[in-house]
């Protein structure tokens, strides 16, 4: 495996950053997870747009422009001879000192691109559906560390994931500080009720996921009514269908939440239709390499 760091390629063993890099010391940086399918990088431009939005929000300069970053991504995929891949793009504040002050990093941002394989969940879970559980760890408030910024500080999500794993579950549902459904540790959440699709709005403390937006687009094109709407766990428990979305997870059905069976206890009709239509879209939309 070859890893891109600041314009050069290094073997996995030699891919290193300084211990004084503020991405390591303080989680001071941003990232994106991207997928390629059969040498087609799905929604690459949308992911890079979001990376630049996150960087702008934390006043982090990316030393490459968008077109250069696209070329670097394609170059990394070709270097690793990957047809299907998970791409992790990272930009940190760069090397500084042991203090918090970002001015000490002197504008030396670190750009890293890693390409590899990923499989978050087993094939069986996609076929049968997964069970999730609500955890005590709340989603970060948008007035504290806004979840819209896809930053390297992921401890909020990690703490929720630890709770879920300790309880014997693959994934955790996180509520916001008002008790409304926000999202899971790495995925957005959707429910279906009476043939209509619902997902929490951004103001509830969710990341505006690229896969989330893609599902909303697919649903609208297929005349499935969509709503970005606040809902509680009660609405989730009594829904007809539920599924999660994310770049790595794609679309995965949920059949039980907090011990409550969702709908028939099997992946629902609309969920399965969206899964199929999403797979078809990944074959034709993106940047070819």
CA dist list (Å): 132 to 39, 148, 173, 235, 289: 33, 23, 7, 15, 37
Contacts of 274 (CB under 8 A, 6+ apart): 215, 218, 219, 243, 251
Farthest-apart Cα atoms in the chain, separation? 57
Output the DSSP codes for 214-243.
HHHHHHHHTT--EEE----HHHHHT-SEEE
Q: What is the pLDDT along the chain (289 residues), one digit of tens a residue?
A: 999 999 999 999 999 999 999 999 999 999 999 999 999 999 999 999 999 999 999 999 999 999 999 999 999 999 999 999 999 999 999 999 999 999 999 878 999 999 999 888 999 999 999 999 999 999 998 888 999 999 999 999 999 999 999 999 999 999 999 999 999 999 999 999 999 999 999 999 899 999 999 999 999 999 999 999 999 999 999 999 999 999 999 999 999 999 999 999 999 999 999 999 999 999 999 999 9
Q: Clarify whether 150 is annotated catalytic.
A: yes
| Bridging pattern class, strands 226-228 and 196-199 | parallel
Q: What are phi and psi of 254, to 5 degrees?
A: -120, 130
Helix H segments across the chain? 22-26, 44-57, 66-79, 123-128, 155-166, 210-221, 233-237, 269-282
Tokens of 200: 């929490």
Q: Which of 8, 66, 106, 150 is catalytic?
A: 150
Q: Which domains does the chain have, with CATH numbers?
A: 2-116 (3.30.470.10), 123-282 (3.20.10.10)
Strands, sheet with 110-116, edge to edge from the N-terminal-most edge strand:
8-11, 2-5, 110-116, 85-92, 29-37, 40-41, 287-288
């Amino acid at each position: 495996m070859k890893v891109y760091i600041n314009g050069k390629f290094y073997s996995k063993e030699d891919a290193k950053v300084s211990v004084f890099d503020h991405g390591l010391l303080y989680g001071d940086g941003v990232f994106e997870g991207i997928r390629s399918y059969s040498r087609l990088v799905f929604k690459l431009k949308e992911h890079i747009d979001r990376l630049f939005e996150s960087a702008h929000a934390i006043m982090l300069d990316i030393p490459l422009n968008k077109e250069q970053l696209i070329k670097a991504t394609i170059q990394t995929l070709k270097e690793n001879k990957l047809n299907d891949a998970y791409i992790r793009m990272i930009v940190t504040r760069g090397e500084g000192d042991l203090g918090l002050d970002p001015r000490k990093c002197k504008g030396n941002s670190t750009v890293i691109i890693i390409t590899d394989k990923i499989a978050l969940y087993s094939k069986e879970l996609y076929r049968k559906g997964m069970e999730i559980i609500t955890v005590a760890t709340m989603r970060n408030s948008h007035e504290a560390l806004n979840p819209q910024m896809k930053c390297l500080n992921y401890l909020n999500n990690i703490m929720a994931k630890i709770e879920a794993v300790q309880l014997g579950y693959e994934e955790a549902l996180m509520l916001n500080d008002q008790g409304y459904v926000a999202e899971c540790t790495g995925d957005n959440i959707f429910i279906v009720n009476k043939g209509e699709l619902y997902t929490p709005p951004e103001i509830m403390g969710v990341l505006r996921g690229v896969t989330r937006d893609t599902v909303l687009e697919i649903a609208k094109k297929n005349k499935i009514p969509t709503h970005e709407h606040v809902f509680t766990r009660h609405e989730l428990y009594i829904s007809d269908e539920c599924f999660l979305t994310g770049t790595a997870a794609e679309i995965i059905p949920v059949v039980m939440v907090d011990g409550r069976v969702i709908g028939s206890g099997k992946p629902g009709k609309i969920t399965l239709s969206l899964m199929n239509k999403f797979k078809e879209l990944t074959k034709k939309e993106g940047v070819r390499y």
